[in-house]
């Protein structure tokens, strides 16, 4: 059996590699919507980490005078990729490697989840569809969405944790849930919303059905006092996981108000899906205004659409044959999730987006497809579970390859100097992500040094520049006004000989840039980004939650035996 | 003979795995577009034949069609500098294509496409005539496939195929996304024409 599991591992490795092979056989990088920004972030994180910044909030050479990219970028993949890039010094290669890693781990973890319910080969058929799903290909070759792809790892882990915590009563599973929620929070908090449409229906499915039901009355038997404890513990694990990510999510929620982005209450771009997006298979090299990138046409894909249609037919047939208990299957839960996704991607959900503001964090209604791509593979796996003959599985894999392999290509590969990833004049995120007191980054002159004397006579004797701090020694013959070519953001402080000096950042000639006064004489000046009270509180909350996580883990046997729950 | 004595005996799961691995690799070789055209000359022939047939039928080179053809006929990469490439970069590309245009006045060479079987040079020029931008007489043409105003496709006696055209920027912006035509790069492209010189290696 172990031989076959190893073969499955190899097969998943192979198809994952094929899905992104184009990145590795071509020179340079393909044109995608977000890829160049992620590559530049990776380079910036490398520099920040090398400067000793952790967690990374500020990228000092991004957008001309530095930007608070760490507040709104994807902490987990970028921090790890940043570390790897310190060794590789090649942001394009690092990006490609991390894309592969995200795809492979997502596939393998989801395979492990499918194996809880289904046979090996049926699960591999499902993973083949997941690997080459239409939305995944769009994410790789058109959108360049590394963090969204990376997030998939944690969905699989949460589902595995949910099963083992509820159905198998394993105490370690609660820690897996907490850890996965933590990682998901600091990878892509929007996915907390989208993935919920599967996680919570699945939680209630496992609670009611546990290891399967013969009769509908079994459901009632499965609801016990222990179930309530398990649900409470599940949600505690979720809160603990999200709590551990507070150092990222709190500034994201409370300090992006200093960016143009924060001035908008509703972040939703109303790109709802219609029937064309759900039926058919449409790929474009050029599409409307998408000239540079491949045409972005958001779609679920013909194979996925067929899987859903057949899934509904099979379910209705099963309900007619076996009664309502047929609904309490993994396919049944998956189809509920499909309906929720379709609802949230369509105009039907418009009133919800208008009234529930946190939903608008997904930015595009079609982002719920980040969950959808996992649903048809579950349905496909369940179809093949019923078929004893292996030939249909091979034919299905061939069918997927015929339809999707021709789409495995990147457009307009081009080479750029490595330095262009480390220093950027433009804010590669839109101007929306600039602090509200600044103008367009590219409109500011590029300066070769961080410090400049605006008024007075003096000389900079020494300077020590880091990503989010600098130390200067200055000899001033007269009182000086100095500029630090850094965009001001709350948390930046100037100390002259250890004393706090007021920052002026609203001088029209230096709009949004740090300027300050220095008296005559010899001085040591420190300009440094420090934590605001929000960040201090956020880090404290994260530390407390991480402390609880560690304590609970150490004393898990005592804790769970006291609660009379779990099997360590 | 017992089951153990049959070394060739394979369980259906083993056979399925062998089938899956073989199938995936074969499909990868034959269906992934850039892998196929890199490995198999017949695929390149098919793409080229389709391109030539279309060009001859329509008597023009559609920019989007050309851009897509170039990338799939022989996968490669672009070297781009909107403000002009270095002399060294241009020299290497010119040697590979077999032309010299660096000294032509008012010619900003901004793009090179490099691949095993196809090389391209693109420039922004002020002239509106292909013959003024580049002299095509020095080529020893053996077969002319298209010779229209500012568009030429022909083979030389060595079997190499040349695609040359000069088009207004309004057509360039339907295919070449390296420029921001409306905002940042407006001044670079205004009043200019898009010149493309492409050479496909002989068989």
* pTM metric for this prediction: 0.95
- In this prediction, residue B10 carries a pLDDT of 58
Per-residue pLDDT of chain A (568 residues; tens, 9 = 90+): 688 999 999 999 999 999 999 999 999 999 999 999 999 999 999 999 999 999 999 999 999 999 999 999 999 999 999 999 999 999 999 999 999 999 999 999 999 999 999 999 999 999 999 999 999 999 999 999 999 999 999 999 999 999 999 999 999 999 999 999 999 999 999 999 999 999 999 999 999 987 677 677 777 777 888 889 999 999 999 999 999 999 999 999 999 999 999 988 788 899 999 999 999 899 999 999 999 999 999 999 999 999 999 999 999 999 999 888 888 999 999 999 999 999 999 999 999 998 888 898 889 999 999 999 999 999 999 999 988 888 999 999 999 999 999 999 999 999 999 999 999 999 998 888 999 999 999 999 999 999 999 999 999 999 999 999 999 999 999 999 999 999 999 999 999 999 999 999 999 999 999 999 999 999 999 999 999 999 999 999 999 999 999 999 999 988 888 887 766 5
Q: Is A15 on the interface with B (CB under 8 A)?
A: yes
- In this prediction, residue A567 carries a pLDDT of 62
Shortest distance between the Cα of A489 and any Cα of chain B, in A, equals: 27
Task: Specify whether the CB–CB gap between B134 and B97 falls below 8 A.
Answer: no
- In this prediction, residue A522 carries a pLDDT of 97
Q: Could you tell me what percent of chain B has a pLDDT over 90?
A: 69
Cβ–Cβ gap B31/A412 under 8 Å: no
If you ran DSSP here, which 8-state letter would residue B116 be given? S
What Rg, from alpha-carbon coordinates, does chain B have?
23
CB contacts of B18 in chain A (<8 Å) are none
CB contacts of A397 in chain B (<8 Å) are 20, 23-24
pLDDT digits (tens, 9 = 90+) for B130-155: 988 887 777 788 899 999 989 999 99
Shortest distance between the Cα of B84 and any Cα of chain A, in A, equals: 14
Taking the C-alpha atoms of residue A94 and residue A85, their distance in angstroms, rounded to an integer, is: 6
Residue in chain A nearest B16 by alpha carbon: A390
Shortest distance between the Cα of B185 and any Cα of chain A, in A, equals: 13
pLDDT at B1 over 50: no
CA distances from B184 to A426, A447, B169 (A): 11, 20, 15
Facing B20 at nearest CB: one of A28, A394, A415: A394
Task: Specify whether the CB–CB gap between A337 and A201 falls below 8 A.
Answer: yes
Q: In what order do the strands lie in the sheet with B193-200?
A: A414-415, B77-80, B107-114, B118-125, B193-200, B161-168, B151-156, B141-148
Q: Is A132 on the interface with B (CB under 8 A)?
A: no
Dihedral sign computed on CA atoms, order A22, A26, A28, A30: negative
Backbone phi, then psi, for A447, in 5-degree steps?
-110, 140
Task: Specify whether the CB–CB gap between A160 and A113 falls below 8 A.
Answer: yes
- In this prediction, residue A266 carries a pLDDT of 83
User: Within 10 Å of residue A401's Cβ, how many Cβ atoms?
Assistant: 23
Query: How does residue B203 score in pLDDT terms, banded at 50, 70 and 90?
Result: low
Cis peptide before A55 (omega within 30 of 0): yes
Facing B80 at nearest CB: one of A286, A398, A414: A414
Task: Specify whether the CB–CB gap between A228 and A288 falls below 8 A.
Answer: no
Residue in chain B nearest A15 by alpha carbon: B24
Cβ–Cβ gap B177/A291 under 8 Å: yes
- In this prediction, residue A413 carries a pLDDT of 98
**B100: burial class by Cβ within 10 Å (0-12, 13-18, 19+)?**
middle
Token pair of A439 as six digits: 């103008």
Alpha helices in A405-532 (DSSP H): 419-422
Helix (H) or strand (E) segment spanning residue A562: helix A556-562
If you ran DSSP here, which 8-state letter would residue A295 be given? B
If you ran DSSP here, which 8-state letter would residue A173 be given? H
Spell out the residues 6+ positions from residue A296 whose beta carbon is closer than 8 angstroms to its own.
Answer: A33, A138, A142, A143, A287, A290
User: Within 10 Å of residue A538's Cβ, how many Cβ atoms?
Assistant: 23
Q: Is A291 on the interface with B (CB under 8 A)?
A: yes
Q: Map residue A294 onto helix, strand or coil.
A: coil
Cβ–Cβ gap B78/A28 under 8 Å: yes
Residue whose C-alpha is closest to residue A187's, from A159, A145, A143: A145
Cβ–Cβ gap A405/B15 under 8 Å: no
- In this prediction, residue B158 carries a pLDDT of 87
End-to-end, the C-alpha distance of chain A in Å comes to: 26
Residue in chain B nearest A3 by alpha carbon: B14
> How far is C-alpha A469 from the chain's CA centre?
28
CB contacts of A398 in chain B (<8 Å) are 23, 27
A-B C-beta contacts closer than 8 Å: 105
Taking the C-alpha atoms of residue B47 and residue A319, their distance in angstroms, rounded to an integer, is: 51
- In this prediction, residue B5 carries a pLDDT of 44
- In this prediction, residue B2 carries a pLDDT of 44
Interface of A with B in 415-474 (CB under 8 A): 415, 442
**A81: burial class by Cβ within 10 Å (0-12, 13-18, 19+)?**
buried
Interface of B with A in 103-162 (CB under 8 A): 114
ipTM: 0.93
CB contacts of B173 in chain A (<8 Å) are 291
- In this prediction, residue A386 carries a pLDDT of 87
CB contacts of A292 in chain B (<8 Å) are 177-178
Facing A390 at nearest CB: one of B12, B27, B175: B12
CB contacts of B36 in chain A (<8 Å) are none
Q: Map residue A55 onto helix, strand or coil.
A: coil
Q: Is A22 on the interface with B (CB under 8 A)?
A: yes
Q: Is B71 on the interface with A (CB under 8 A)?
A: yes
Residue B182: half-sphere exposure toward Cβ, Cα within 13 Å: 2
Q: C-alpha angle A349/A354/A356, rounded to 5°?
A: 85
- In this prediction, residue B104 carries a pLDDT of 66
Residue in chain B nearest A32 by alpha carbon: B177
- In this prediction, residue B100 carries a pLDDT of 77
Cβ–Cβ gap B32/A21 under 8 Å: yes
pLDDT digits (tens, 9 = 90+) for B7-36: 445 568 888 999 999 999 999 999 999 999
Cβ–Cβ gap B21/A14 under 8 Å: yes
């Amino acid at each position: 059996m172990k031989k076959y599991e190893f073969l499955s591992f190899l097969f998943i490795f192979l198809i994952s590699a094929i899905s992104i092979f184009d990145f590795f056989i071509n020179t340079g990088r393909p044109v995608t919507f977000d890829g160049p920004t992620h590559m530049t972030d990776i380079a910036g994180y490398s520099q920040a980490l090398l400067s000793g910044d952790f967690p990374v909030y500020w990228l000092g050479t991004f957008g001309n005078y530095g930007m608070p990219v760490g507040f709104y970028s994807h902490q987990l993949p970028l921090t790890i990729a940043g570390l790897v890039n310190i060794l590789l010094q090649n942001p394009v290669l690092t990006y490609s490697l991390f894309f592969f890693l995200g795809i492979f781990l997502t596939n393998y973890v989801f395979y492990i989840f499918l194996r809880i319910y289904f046979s090996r080969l049926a699960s591999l058929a499902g993973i083949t569809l997941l690997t080459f799903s239409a939305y995944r290909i769009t994410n790789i070759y058109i959108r360049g969405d590394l963090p969204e792809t990376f997030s998939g790892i944690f969905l699989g882990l949460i589902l595995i944790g949910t099963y083992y915590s509820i159905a198998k009563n394993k105490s370690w599973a609660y820690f897996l849930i907490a850890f996965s929620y933590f990682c998901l929070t600091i990878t892509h908090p929007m996915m907390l919303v989208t993935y919920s449409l599967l996680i919570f229906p699945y939680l209630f499915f496992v609670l009611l059905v546990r290891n399967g039901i013969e009769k509908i009355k079994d459901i009632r038997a499965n609801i016990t006092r222990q179930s309530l404890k398990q649900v409470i513990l599940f949600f505690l694990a979720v809160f603990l996981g999200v709590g551990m990510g507070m150092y990222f999510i709190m500034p994201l929620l409370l300090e992006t108000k200093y960016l143009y982005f924060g001035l908008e209450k509703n972040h939703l771009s109303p790109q709802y899906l219609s029937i064309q997006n759900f039926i058919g298979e449409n790929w474009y090299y050029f599409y409307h205004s998408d000239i540079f990138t491949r045409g972005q046409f958001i779609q679920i894909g013909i194979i996925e659409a067929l899987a859903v249609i057949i899934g509904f037919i099979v379910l209705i047939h099963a309900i007619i044959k076996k009664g309502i208990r047929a609904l309490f299957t993994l396919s049944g839960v998956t189809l509920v999730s499909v309906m929720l996704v379709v609802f949230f991607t369509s105009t039907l959900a418009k009133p919800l987006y208008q009234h529930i503001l946190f939903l608008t964090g997904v930015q595009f209604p079609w982002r719920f497809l980040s969950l959808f791509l996992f649903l048809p593979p579950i349905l496909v796996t369940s179809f093949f579970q019923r078929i004893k003959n292996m030939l249909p599985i091979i034919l299905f894999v061939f069918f997927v390859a015929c339809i999707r392999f021709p789409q495995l290509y990147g457009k307009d590969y081009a080479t750029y100097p490595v330095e262009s990833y480390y220093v950027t004049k433009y804010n590669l995120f839109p101007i929306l992500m600039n602090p509200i007191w600044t103008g367009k980054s590219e409109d500011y002159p590029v300066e070769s040094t961080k410090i400049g004397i605006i008024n007075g006579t003096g000389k900079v004797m020494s300077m020590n520049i880091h990503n989010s701090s600098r130390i200067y020694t200055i000899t001033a013959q007269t009182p000086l006004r100095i500029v630090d070519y850094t965009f001001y953001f709350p948390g930046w402080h100037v100390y002259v000989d250890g004393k706090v000096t007021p920052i002026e950042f609203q001088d029209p000639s230096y709009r949004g840039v740090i300027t300050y006064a220095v008296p005559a004489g010899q001085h040591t000046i420190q300009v440094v980004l420090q934590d605001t009270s929000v960040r201090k509180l956020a880090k404290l909350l994260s530390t407390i939650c991480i402390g609880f996580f560690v304590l609970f883990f150490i004393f898990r046997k005592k804790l769970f035996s006291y609660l009379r729950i779990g099997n360590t | 003979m017992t089951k153990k004595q049959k070394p060739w005996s394979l369980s259906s799961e083993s056979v399925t795995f062998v089938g899956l691995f073989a199938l995936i690799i074969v499909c990868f070789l034959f269906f992934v577009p850039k892998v196929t055209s890199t490995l198999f000359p017949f695929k390149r022939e098919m793409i080229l034949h389709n391109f030539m047939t279309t060009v001859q039928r329509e008597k023009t080179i559609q920019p989007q069609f050309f851009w897509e053809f170039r990338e799939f006929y022989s996968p490669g990469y672009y070297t781009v500098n909107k403000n002009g490439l270095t002399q060294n970069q241009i020299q290497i590309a010119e040697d590979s294509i077999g032309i010299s245009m660096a000294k032509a006045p008012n010619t900003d060479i901004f793009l090179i496409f490099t691949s095993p079987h196809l090389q391209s040079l693109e420039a922004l020029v002020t002239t509106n005539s292909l013959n003024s931008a580049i002299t095509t007489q020095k080529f020893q043409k053996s077969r002319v496939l298209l010779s229209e105003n500012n568009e030429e496709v022909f083979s030389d006696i060595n079997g190499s195929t040349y695609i040359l055209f000069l088009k207004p920027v309004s057509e360039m912006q339907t295919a070449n996304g390296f420029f921001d035509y409306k905002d940042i790069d407006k001044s670079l492209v205004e009043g200019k024409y898009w010149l493309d010189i492409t050479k496909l290696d002989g068989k």
